């Protein structure tokens, strides 16, 4: 989950899907991406992110959608890109003691080597920002998959 669901979260979705496809695990997981804001609902991911990912052999084809409270119960893991979105997602829960809170985490918590705890938003930056996002997500998703199949 990111802010607008046009850069970071669709990239994470596509990287995860590519990695589970490579491991023949496509039928094991349901994967989706969402944004906390609804500005881009129905849109493809940002052109710059699509091009950057495609250069790495990863195709971003999802359409933006906004997270809803029901999603917190539908999915086993809700992974967010930064602390602001973590707070926004948790605010969807009416009861703060809800056990669903335990499955809402920062995606980089699965990274073994990153010195970052948040995936920076590349939207207003240059090309290096999109590359950095994919690098961070690539490593974190490896850790995520390892944790899920162990």
Active site residue 7: no
Task: Spot the catalytic one: 7, 46, 65, 121.
Answer: 121
Nearest to 62 by CA among 19, 117, 6: 6
Annotation says 63 is catalytic:
no
- Catalytic residue, from 2, 7, 50, 82: name it: 2
Spatial distance between the Cα atoms of 137 and 126, rounded to a whole number of angstroms: 18
Instruction: Please state, in angstroms and rounded to a whole number, the distance separating the CA atoms of residues 55 and 74.
Output: 33
Q: Is 47 a catalytic residue?
A: no
| DSSP state at residue 105 | E
- Which residue in 7, 8, 50, 65 is the catalytic one? 8
The catalytic residue positions are: 2, 8, 121
């Amino acid at each position: 989950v990111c802010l607008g669901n046009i850069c970071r979260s669709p990239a994470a979705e596509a990287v995860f899907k590519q990695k589970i496809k490579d491991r023949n695990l496509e039928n094991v997981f349901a994967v989706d991406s969402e944004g906390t804001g609804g500005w881009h609902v129905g849109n493809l991911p940002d052109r710059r992110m699509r091009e950057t990912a495609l250069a790495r052999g990863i195709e971003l084809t999802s359409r933006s959608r906004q997270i809803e409270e029901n999603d917190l119960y539908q999915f086993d893991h809700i992974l967010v890109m930064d602390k602001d979105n973590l707070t926004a997602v948790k605010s969807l829960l009416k009861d703060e003691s809800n056990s669903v809170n335990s499955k809402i985490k920062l995606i980089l918590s699965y990274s073994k080597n990153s010195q970052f705890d948040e995936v920076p938003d590349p939207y207003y930056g240059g090309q290096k920002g999109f590359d950095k996002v994919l690098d961070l997500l690539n490593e974190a998703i490896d850790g995520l998959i390892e944790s899920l199949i162990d």
